Amino acid sequence: MSVMRQFLRPLLLTLAVTGLYAGVAVVIGMTGDESRAATTERVVTDRLTGLAIYGYDPVAYFTESEPREGVAAYELSWAGATWRFSNEGNRDAFMQDPSVYEPRYGGYDPVAIGTGVPTPGHPGVWLVHNQRLYVFHSEANRALFMTSPAEAIQRAEGHWAQVKAQLVP
Q: Could you tell me if 126 and 96 lie in one domain? A: yes
| pLDDT score of 80 | 86
CA distance 100 to 93: 9
| pLDDT score of 13 | 40
**Domain assignment of residue 76, yes or no:** yes
CA distance 131 to 4: 38
CA distance 56 to 71: 9
Q: Could you tell me if 74 and 142 lie in one domain? A: yes
The pTM score is 0.76
DSSP alpha helix (H) spans, 19-148: 21-27, 32-37, 60-63, 88-96, 98-101, 110-113, 139-147
What is the domain extent for residue 20? 3-37
pLDDT tens series, the chain, 169 aa = 444 444 444 433 433 333 333 333 223 333 333 323 333 588 999 989 999 999 999 999 999 999 999 999 999 999 889 999 999 999 999 999 999 999 999 999 999 999 999 999 999 999 999 999 999 999 999 999 999 999 999 999 999 999 999 887 6
Q: Could you tell me if 94 and 133 lie in one domain? A: yes
**Domain assignment of residue 116, yes or no:** yes
| pLDDT score of 112 | 97
Closest CA to 104 of 157, 60, 141: 157
| pLDDT score of 4 | 41
Closest CA to 123 of 111, 112, 133: 133
Q: Could you tell me if 67 and 101 lie in one domain? A: yes
| pLDDT score of 15 | 36
Q: Could you tell me if 132 and 99 lie in one domain? A: yes
The total domain count for the chain is 2
Which helix (H) or strand (E) element contains residue 126? Answer: strand 122-129
Q: Could you tell me if 106 and 154 lie in one domain? A: yes
**Domain assignment of residue 43, yes or no:** no
Q: Could you tell me if 157 and 107 lie in one domain? A: yes
Largest CA distance in the chain: 51
- Give the Cα-Cα-Cα angle 102, 143, 90 (nearest 5 degrees): 25
**Domain assignment of residue 129, yes or no:** yes
Closest CA to 60 of 91, 81, 95, 97: 91
